[in-house]
Amino acid sequence: MPDHAVGTIIRESNIVPTSIAVELRFLTTPVRRADDTSPLILPTAFGCPLVVHVRAKAIIGSKWGADGVPYPPSLDVQKNELSIKIVRQVEAYIARRLTVFNLPLTLEGTEFEQATWRAVTTIPFGARVSYADVARAIGRPGAHRAMTNVAFDLLVPAHRVIGADGRLKGADADSMRGRLLAFEREARRSDKHRDVRLLRQ
């Protein structure tokens, strides 16, 4: 079963929500512009790279690449301050040293999509909530079946949203969503064990 209700997460003062900076734009589709850069391709320990698209000083999208498909290395990492920040934070997440991303995102979507994504960004590292929880949190309890895919893999943690029965919907345990849930669950378990050891010292 899901670990939390999103509405509870939003209200609890002891939960620190994500500090992702969001530039809100109510557009139905992303618009390609001259200041869009080549994608930043980050190898990861999950079996496939994270492909991040940047426009000016903000991220406009991120998607997991295909398993086993070779990607050319990114050439602009050392020339772009935002690219360096992205690389460092993704590496820190994989090394279990970071649980909240602090990166500028430009979210382009309808008002409903914007509200959904904002709610999803409040789900803590390692937690799981249901689609119905998210729908209730944005005041649209009957809209959970209409939720769309998020254009920001990993950075907006939609992998933490699962079915009310506690199962992944539209993916299996070996999918990237399944791998991320397993990774975060194990990281939380390791942290709890470490805290117990520290208390006993």
- Distance (Å) of CA 87 to CA 42, 77, 93: 7, 8, 10
Residue 56 has what DSSP assignment? T
At 51 the three-state DSSP class reads strand
Q: What is the pTM of this model?
A: 0.74
Highest mean pLDDT among 28-42, 56-70, 184-198: 56-70
pLDDT at res. 25:
30
How is the chain split into domains, by residue range?
6-200
CA distance 131 to 111: 17
Question: Residue 18: its pLDDT value, please?
Answer: 35
Closest to 111 (Cα-Cα) out of 139, 152, 145, 142? 139
Fold of 6-200: Arc Repressor Mutant, subunit A (1.10.10)
Residue range 19-33: average pLDDT?
A: 36
pLDDT at 145: 65
**What's the mean pLDDT when you consider all of the chain?**
75
Give the residue from 165, 163, 178, 170 showing the smallest Cα distance to 131.
Answer: 163
Task: Name the token pair of 109.
Answer: 């979507």
Confidence of residue 157 (pLDDT cuts 50, 70, 90): very high
Q: Kindly state the percentage of the chain with pLDDT values over 70.
A: 67
pLDDT given at position 7: 47
Q: pLDDT band for position 60 (50/70/90)?
A: very high
